[in-house]
Amino acid sequence: MMIKIYDVIIIGGGFAGCGLAYHLSRANINTLLLESNHICSGTSSACAGRAQIFDSETPEYLRIVHQGYSMLPQLGEELDIDLEWELPGHITLYYSQEQLSAHQSKIDWMRKIGLSAEFVPSAEISKLESALNPMNCVGAILAQEGHLNPFKFCWGYLQSAKRLGATIKCRSKVERFIKEGNKIVGVETTNQSYYGKNIILATGAWTGFLTSKIDAPLPIFFTKAEAMVSEPLPKTVNHHIGTSGFYDSVHGNNQLVTLGVGQHRNGCLLISNAIQPATAIDRSSSAWGMPAITQKLSEFFPILKQIRITRTWSAPSPFSKDYQPIIGWLPHFENIYIASAFHLAIPTIPVFTKLIADHIQGQNQIEVSEYLEPFSPDRFFM
């Protein structure tokens, strides 16, 4: 029997894997996607759907975020799916003058590229959110932000990839890499072996487990993040609202709860974030996290104290040693590509997955190196 050799094997069926399958298939690259569970079942299944802009840490990262964000309103049409795109905006609440001052320059960065952002004095927050109790807040920043349905985002990429000829195999966990000399020529899953010229690890929080199988451990860590959704309610929350310091907790070593709440167009509230350090992936909702989130919500929104919670979940929230994505060829291997540890995934995936597809094909090299070089895995192997 002839062995089929794919041009590219993608491991992982989250936002990154599905976005890559789409862009590679669009370029006529013979693509196989392997997912250990089902599509959008990893960290992407926990995503709140925010197209965050304000959380960009540097003007350079904001440039990438802005580019991807600008693509989102038309992406549904391109993928032939209603992504439920809307523009709720985001309010960040500050409880220390120091933190607020540190973030005020972001208002200028955003305005410089035509995005809206403004400081809101604490006395005026209730004009924006009448049900919110801002407590001893020192002020807020209201910034432009979009929202979409994260499952449709993933599904839209996947279905478009399939239409363009990609092969998708779920319940296919990659257990081992098949080596020939110094080259990885294929992978062994629970069911079958597959062969490919290039292999992309779009495996988010699981990436370190896979690279350690080929003795190339990557510094990808994760915390355990928990969230929940309420029954549908009359309109109560107008924007997405969060307390500052979320990224300190999501990248940190402490058990912490920060407020993150938004009301979906169907009336349900998406409420997060309970964060705790983790070394193993555990998808259960914890006895600490659930009450901590509801307690936080009722402090900020006393009128929501009695609401019914209909679903809770937890997922690993991956991050690299320097909190930046890891994108590029894995050093010492000719054909293993890493596409993991994404930061502000929804607005960056449309840009990064297109550039990665170009990188794999050796196309568009000036733009590829300008955008992707800072995220190369090389930085951890010097």
Ligand X SMILES: Cc1cc2nc3c(=O)[nH]c(=O)nc-3n(C[C@H](O)[C@H](O)[C@H](O)COP(=O)(O)OP(=O)(O)OC[C@H]3O[C@@H](n4cnc5c(N)ncnc54)[C@H](O)[C@@H]3O)c2cc1C
Q: Taking CA 375 as the corner, what is the angle to CA 371 and CA 377, rounded to the nearest 5 degrees?
A: 140
Least CB distance from residue 55 to ligand X, whole Å? Answer: 9
Residue 46, φ and ψ in degrees, nearest 5: -95, -5
Least CB distance from residue 302 to ligand X, whole Å? Answer: 24
**Rounded-to-integer distance, Cα 307 and Cα 296, Å:** 13
Considering beta carbons, is residue 95 or 151 the nearer one to ligand X? 151
Least CB distance from residue 122 to ligand X, whole Å? Answer: 25
Q: How far is CA 350 from CA 139, 173, 302, in A?
A: 33, 26, 38
Looking at the DSSP bridge assignments, the partners of residue 174 are 189
Instruction: Pick one of 35, 129, 145, 358: the residue that binds ligand X (CB under 6 A).
Output: 35
Considering beta carbons, is residue 244 or 317 the nearer one to ligand X? 317
Instruction: Pick one of 23, 26, 50, 264: the residue that binds ligand X (CB under 6 A).
Output: 50
The mark string for 186-225 relative to ligand X (x by CB under 6 A, - otherwise) is ----------------xxxxx---x--------------x
Are the CB atoms for 333 and 184 separated by under 8 Å?
yes
Q: Restricting to residues 305-344, which ones interact with ligand X according to CB under 6 A?
A: 315, 317, 340, 342, 344
Are the CB atoms for 188 and 175 separated by under 8 Å?
yes
Instruction: Pick one of 8, 10, 14, 241: the residue that binds ligand X (CB under 6 A).
Output: 14
From the list 46-54, 64-72, 84-92, 361-369, the region that binds ligand X by CB under 6 A is 46-54
Least CB distance from residue 191 to ligand X, whole Å? Answer: 11
In the numeric block, the tokens 């809307």 are attached to 86
**Rounded-to-integer distance, Cα 19 and Cα 184, Å:** 23
Cβ count within 10 A of residue 254: 10
* 65 binds ligand X per the rule CB under 6 A: no
**Which residues, other chains included, contact 101 with Cβ-Cβ below 8 Å and sequence gap of 6+?**
none
Least CB distance from residue 4 to ligand X, whole Å? Answer: 18
Least CB distance from residue 30 to ligand X, whole Å? Answer: 19
Considering beta carbons, is residue 55 or 129 the nearer one to ligand X? 55
Q: Taking CA 83 as the corner, what is the angle to CA 18 and CA 69, rounded to the nearest 5 degrees?
A: 80
Cβ count within 10 A of residue 238: 16
Q: Which residues bind ligand X (CB under 6 A)?
A: 11-17, 34-37, 41-44, 46-50, 52, 173-174, 202-206, 210, 225, 227, 272, 315, 317, 340, 342, 344-346
